[in-house]
Amino acid sequence: MGLLMSQDDFARALRKAGDRAGVPNDANKRLVQRWEAGVITAPRPAYARALEAVTGLPIGSLGFTVQVPNSGVSDDGQGGHDVEVAESPTPVPNGGPAPRNAPAGNYSGVWLSRYQYFSSGRADTFTGLHYVVLLQHGDRLTVRSLPGASDSPLTMDLTVDGNVITGTWVEQTARDGYYRGARYHGAIQLLAEPTGRRLAGKWVGFGKEMDVNTGPWELVFQDASTNKATLAKYDRRPEPGQD
């Protein structure tokens, strides 16, 4: 969704990535649907590598369980098997930790991200705005800014525990901007309002002088749809003061 691809487009990109890597795969629309529905929780290594190549993200951040290699060999010669679940898409291993509180709702959709930071070099406070796509897989949330929303791409990897949302953020600033392509990252904690339409909290991160900075951050719900037309609608720079 964040790549503005249909399921067919995504499957085609996976096949091309496999061909380029010399590890062909048979990705198709039906397989993509089974991944998205949580029917398959751990793709085979050939598909995992293609997924990482196309999305630019590690397989563990895409909502999948990282598969432990085994000695089995599949009919494509790549080893292992796609792991399917019959009842729950997020089973808890025997002896593992107790599951977290169930999320208050499904947060998938398009959101407006807004944070504030103080620039010591300019002695002023500024606001960072992005339209982002938020995807939920169980208690895990991935947040990716839309390409046209800013010259500084933003990503977050979050975990939901009731109405508390905790995780990390990364922003790659624009090469021709004030920060000249510097990469900033840190932690974030948000609280979901009862309506589920606003997530508000604080970010923390390091500054240029190795000092720890913090500031407010909020995500404001815009649209539950993540189809191609909706993403295209929000693939632009947000207006200051917009909710």
Q: Using an 8 Å Cβ cutoff, are 59 and 142 in contact?
A: no
Reading the chain (243 residues) residue by residue, the pLDDT tens digits are 667 788 999 999 999 999 988 889 999 999 998 888 888 888 988 898 899 888 867 676 677 876 544 434 333 334 444 544 433 333 434 444 444 443 456 899 999 999 999 887 788 899 999 999 998 888 889 999 999 999 899 999 999 999 999 999 999 887 777 777 788 889 999 999 988 899 999 999 987 667 789 999 999 999 998 888 898 999 999 988 766
Q: Which domains does the chain have, with CATH numbers?
A: 7-84 (no CATH), 109-234 (2.40.160.90)
Q: Using an 8 Å Cβ cutoff, are 36 and 136 in contact?
A: no
Q: Using an 8 Å Cβ cutoff, are 108 and 136 in contact?
A: yes
Q: Using an 8 Å Cβ cutoff, are 10 and 34 in contact?
A: no
pTM, full prediction: 0.60
Q: Using an 8 Å Cβ cutoff, are 171 and 156 in contact?
A: no
Complete DSSP assignment for 4-66: ---HHHHHHHHHHHHHHHT------HHHHHHHHTTSEEE--HHHHHHHHHHHSS-GGGGTPPP
Rounded CA gap, 134 and 141, in Å?
A: 7
DSSP 182: -
Rounded CA gap, 243 and 230, in Å?
A: 17
